[in-house]
């Protein structure tokens, strides 16, 4: 949702579609941002990113687990039922301990105006469907899409279901 502008400092910029993504999904999900930076930096970035206050919680470095010389997101620290947690990130499988809750998305290009990037918007129908169907456990749903392009596969499955 934000990117590196210069080698020496962070210059936050919004990924295309992030406002619509957050506004729509905040009606269906408790949205939180989980970063491995210090909270002062995370708060400053999110204050610029989330002008409509869609993000319910902000987690920073203190909420990560340091293991084997690297920081990991540990979803068990969220104090939420893991059967109801979806972790969406470009580096989900690299930086999260609970892979069964992870959805890997295409990384954001380091360009301010990449109008062709529809990654976040493409995920809305899938995430909306999961929220509205309210499965007892989201992990088997996510597992059924393992190794696939979720937005594309979701549309394929939806069309197939409509033809029945």
109-148 tens-digit pLDDT? 766 566 789 999 999 999 999 999 999 999 999 999 999 9
Residue corresponding to tokens 């469907």: 129
- The pLDDT > 90 percentage for the chain reads 67
Q: How far apart are CA 86 and CA 72, in angstroms?
A: 16
What CATH number corresponds to the domain at position 71?
3.40.50.1000
Q: How far apart are CA 58 and CA 115, in angstroms?
A: 27
**Domain span at residue 77?**
4-163
- The answer for residues whose C-beta is within 8 angstroms of residue 153's C-beta and 6 or more apart is 145
CA dist 93 to 49, 87, 99, Å? 24, 10, 6
pLDDT at 2: 43
**Which SS3 state, helix, strand or coil, does residue 145 take?**
coil
Q: Please compute the mean of the pLDDT values over residues 41-65 and round it to a whole number.
A: 89
pLDDT in tens, 68-123: 999 999 999 899 999 999 999 999 999 999 999 999 999 887 665 667 899 999 99
Beta strand extents in 20-164 (DSSP E only): 32-34, 57-59, 64-67, 70-73, 87-89, 102-104
pLDDT at 28: 97
Q: Please compute the mean of the pLDDT values over residues 5-33 and round it to a whole number.
A: 81
The domain tally of the chain equals 1
pTM: 0.86
């Amino acid at each position: 949702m934000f990117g590196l502008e210069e080698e020496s400092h962070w210059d936050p910029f919004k990924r295309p579609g992030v406002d619509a993504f957050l506004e729509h999904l905040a009606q269906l999900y408790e949205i939180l941002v989980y970063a491995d930076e210090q909270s002062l930096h995370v708060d400053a970035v999110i204050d610029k990113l989330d002008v409509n206050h869609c993000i319910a919680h902000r987690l920073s470095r203190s909420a990560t687990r340091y293991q084997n010389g690297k920081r990991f997101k540990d979803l068990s620290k969220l104090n939420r039922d893991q059967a109801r947690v979806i972790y969406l990130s470009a580096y989900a499988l690299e930086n999260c301990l609970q892979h069964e809750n992870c959805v890997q998305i295409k990384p954001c290009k380091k360009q301010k105006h990449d109008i062709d990037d529809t990654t976040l918007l493409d995920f809305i129908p899938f995430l909306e469907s999961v929220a509205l169907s309210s499965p007892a456990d989201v992990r088997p749903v996510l597992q059924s899409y393992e190794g696939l392009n979720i937005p594309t596969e979701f549309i394929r499955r939806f069309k197939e279901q409509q033809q029945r």
